[in-house]
Amino acid sequence: MSSNIASEIIYETPMEKQNIEIVERKGIGHPDSIADGIAEEVSRNLSRMYMEKHDRILHHNTDEVQIVGGQANPRFGGGEILEPVYMLLAGRATTDVNGKRLPYKSTALTAAEEYLEETCTHLDVDQGVMLDCRIAQGSVDLQDVYDTSRHNANDTSFGVSYAPLSGTEKVTLETERFINGPLKDDLPEVGQDVKVMATRKRDEINLTIAVAIIDRLTSDADHYKSVIEEIKDRVKDHVLDQTSRDVNIMLNTADNYEKDIYYLTVTGLSMENGDDGSVGRGNRVNGLITPFRPMSMEAAAGKNPVTHIGKLYNIAAKEIAQKVYDEEKEGVHDVYVRLVSQIGRSLKDPQVASIQLVVEEDEHHNTRMDNVESIAEDYLENIFDLKDRILNDEISVF
């Protein structure tokens, strides 16, 4: 057993029994999520290109996508785009091997375009987006650290996560997925830009939800109002299937019908009208923003899937926590995992792997800690498997 893996029992009020909880989910059409999605898709496609041409993933990090909102004039029945959204693809990549240039820019631009077309179905990418690729050659020193035959950490950093999701966290995550999923079968007026903010006070959950509405599919103000009421009813029914707590739904609270203010969009995206986005400002690897939980501030999207701690250790912390909870849940309320790397050191051998089990009662739990540490050790021994799962689109990082 590695001496760097340390587990412990801690006694604190579990998340489910705390009086206050705050959870946020930025949906797939939020500009920060779009930035994350593009960055990640560019990284995955560069990785596949490198594998095809050189049988290994070469040095790259594309986690610096920036979105500058455009200008639009939405109207009931159909408005227009006045200025396109500007998107900057930045970061570092291997641009040539032995003097032979690689198609890294075309790979990145194609990946971004295809992601936007698939995700933002009401956006005319050719007319509504200005894509600019400024990805450049990476640092020589970092490329040496990146040597895929050694699997060494590219940075001294950490990853952190927890399990299981609380009831409020599940409601928040599933509400956005419902609105951006099955709900659209009956309400095509709903756009992709959805944000859910949940606040729980004891056993009452308030969901404040922002949903962009497509203007050309909404004929007038009465039509808009009927769509909003239908969304509320459908979301309420969906949420009540997931929780026994009281739930209040508040939708598009910035609307002011008396002043003709509606969340109406041409594309279903707030970035069409001045809302900007950046990688790392949105959801963590579990798909949520959770200020009452430990979180890493580092973006996972766009970082390489071979050595970058900001991606791999955050994913690993999440999966170790869930596996520990699944096997040791009796008497355990929460599991917290923190992994710390050291630049140049094997990913399998973190400086510290901390696993904390939150329990309430003063029971003897120490007999289970050997199993907890074995779970972490076995996972870290096989951490390189994450690369293939990432490239097979089996893991979401936002």
The encoded tokens of residue 97 equal 């091997």
Alpha-carbon distance values, 140 to 98, 120, 341 (Å):
14, 37, 21
CB-CB neighbours of 182 under 10 Å = 12
The encoded tokens of residue 311 equal 């991606």
Q: Is 38 helix (H, G, I), strand (E, B) or coil?
A: helix
* pLDDT for the residue numbered 183: 97
Q: Each residue of 65-108: pLDDT tens digit?
A: 999 999 999 999 999 999 999 999 999 999 999 889 999 999 99
Residues of the chain with pLDDT under 50: 140, 142, 145
CA angle (389 as vertex; 5, 2 as ends), nearest 5:
15
> How far apart, in whole angstroms, are the C-alpha atoms of residue 59 and residue 217?
45
Reference 20, options 165, 206, 174; nearest CA is 206
> How far apart, in whole angstroms, are the C-alpha atoms of residue 165 and residue 177?
16
- The residues that bridge with 160 in the sheet, in sequence order, are 338
Alpha-carbon distance values, 58 to 145, 252, 267, 336, 396 (Å):
11, 45, 36, 33, 21
> How far apart, in whole angstroms, are the C-alpha atoms of residue 362 and residue 395?
37
User: Where do the domains of the chain lie, and which CATH numbers do they carry?
Assistant: 5-17+156-164+294-391 (3.30.300.280), 31-145 (3.30.300.10), 167-278 (3.30.300.340)
Q: What is the pTM of this model?
A: 0.93
Cβ atoms of residues 60 and 94 within 8 Å: yes
